Amino acid sequence: MKLASILFSFLLLAPQIATAQVATEKTSKGDLKITPVVHGSVMFEFGGKVIVVDPISMGADWSKYPKADWVFITDIHGDHFDPKALDMLKKDSTKFVAPQVVADKLAGAMVMKNGESKEFDGIKVEAIPMYNMKRGPAEGKFFHDKGRGNAYIFNFGNKRVLLAGDTECIPELKAVKNIDIAFLPMNLPYTMPPEEAAACAKEFKPKVLYPYHYGDSNVSVVQGLVGKDIEVRVTPMK
């Protein structure tokens, strides 16, 4: 899928976003602040570090946020890898982590591959696959190929936080264990509809589910679909 097509679709689906909502979670190593910002962009503050995943400049004024110590990128598409947003967030000591396809275009980025686990400033991060199994721009082609991008699981003390990236309900996602907080994408045609995402969440049972990367999908139905054992937090990030 061409970058211009992705950005055009995002322009249609994601107007300027309202003020971000912040949640604070208690962990075994102190407070974790979670700020869903816009689309697939999420900021974490933990242990004195600022970690941002997939910052994009469209719909977000990053000058209002603290500079990042770490930036994690899931995929090469322009609604996940945005050099303009990276320039707004980075300081001299900022470090970047990304799949190889992004690292090829981002000087100095550390590479993580599907299946790898690494520690960054005392925070264990696991990279798992994200991909399409059936959805794509043409027969036999997929919007996201297996092995190209990363979903990430962050271990903040005793809290495990999953950002699934652009994916359908793939076997690797259904198999994750002990997830406290999950961010799942819910937009067609690129990832999965809310109904599929809800069914996927019921497979691995996070305690908290954030719909993200959801465009104009009706995510208000998700709580009813997952049931009372999973808390759904809908924030205006589209």
Residue 238: pLDDT band (50, 70, 90) is confident
State mean pLDDT over 11-28.
Answer: 66
In a domain, 11, yes or no: no
- For residue 141, which amino acid is it? K
Specify the higher pLDDT residue, 14 or 88: 88
Residue 140: pLDDT band (50, 70, 90) is confident
In a domain, 8, yes or no: no
Mean pLDDT of all residues belonging to the chain: 92
Q: What is the pLDDT of residue 139?
A: 84
Cβ neighbours of residue 19 under 8 Å, at least 6 residues apart? none
In a domain, 4, yes or no: no
pTM tops 0.85: yes
In a domain, 172, yes or no: yes
Domain tally, the chain: 1
Q: What is the pLDDT of residue 237?
A: 83
State mean pLDDT over 103-119.
Answer: 97
Is pLDDT at 191 greater than 80 in this prediction?
yes
CATH code where residue 192 lies: 3.60.15.10
In whole angstroms, give the CA distance from residue 26 to residue 133.
36
Residue 2: pLDDT band (50, 70, 90) is very low
In a domain, 238, yes or no: no
- What range defines the domain where residue 118 resides? 19-232
The pairing of strands 149-156 and 159-163 is antiparallel
In a domain, 14, yes or no: no
In a domain, 52, yes or no: yes
In whole angstroms, give the CA distance from residue 62 to residue 54.
12
Q: What is the pLDDT of residue 128?
A: 98
How big is the chain by its Cα radius of gyration, in Å? 16
In a domain, 44, yes or no: yes
Q: What is the pLDDT of residue 13?
A: 41
Per residue in 56-75, pLDDT (tens digit) is 999 999 999 999 999 999 99
Residue 236: pLDDT band (50, 70, 90) is confident
For residue 211, list its beta bridge partners.
Answer: 184
Residue 20: pLDDT band (50, 70, 90) is low
